[in-house]
Amino acid sequence: MGRIMGIDYGSKRTGLAVTDPLKMIAQPLEMVYTADLKMYLDSYLYDEDVECFVVGMPTNLNGTDTDATQPVKQFIEALKNAYPNIPVNTIDERLTSHEAQQSIIASGAKKSQRQNKGLIDAVSASLILQTYLQKIS
């Protein structure tokens, strides 16, 4: 059984999350520098079976594109070309970074952890993935 991978794509850093093999729980995986993302995905996919990607699509509160929307669309096309046998889905990622920070605070994390942008990116990816899991269940 394959996992589902959530991706919070950014120009500098990308947050990654995966489900358990039963596809019930989303958990943060890692933050990867975007320049190293392809190499990381190649390695991860060599060891793990991923049956689909879920990429967060940035939009404004009114539903219009943001400055980050076009780079994410370009990333999605590159992802489809690099891994043509793995479907790519998108999910609205409005406010996930804010929700991730609130989740980290609620967990009782220390101030240094709350300011860790890599942790925020990975938790954001987890929230994107959890939203997708709720949508398909």
Distance CA(136)–CA(69), nearest Å, equals 23
Contact 11, 34 (CB under 8 A): yes
Total-model pTM: 0.85
The token pair that represents 45 in the structure block: 């996919």
In this structure, what CATH number is given to the domain that contains residue 47? 3.30.420.140
What total number of domains does the chain contain?
1
DSSP-based three-state secondary structure for 3: strand
Distance CA(79)–CA(83), nearest Å, equals 6
- Print pLDDT tens along the chain (137 aa): 789 999 999 999 999 999 998 999 999 999 999 999 999 999 999 999 999 999 999 887 787 888 888 999 999 999 999 999 999 999 987 656 556 555 655 655 565 554 556 667 888 898 899 999 988 88
Give the pLDDT confidence score for residue 98 in this predicted structure.
55
> Going edge to edge, which strands form the sheet with 50-57?
26-33, 13-19, 3-8, 50-57, 88-92
Distance CA(91)–CA(31), nearest Å, equals 19
Enclosing domain of residue 57: 3-136
- Please choose, from the candidates 87, 93, 76, the residue with its C-alpha nearest in 3D space to the C-alpha of residue 128: 93
Q: What are phi and psi of 18, to 5 degrees?
A: -140, 160
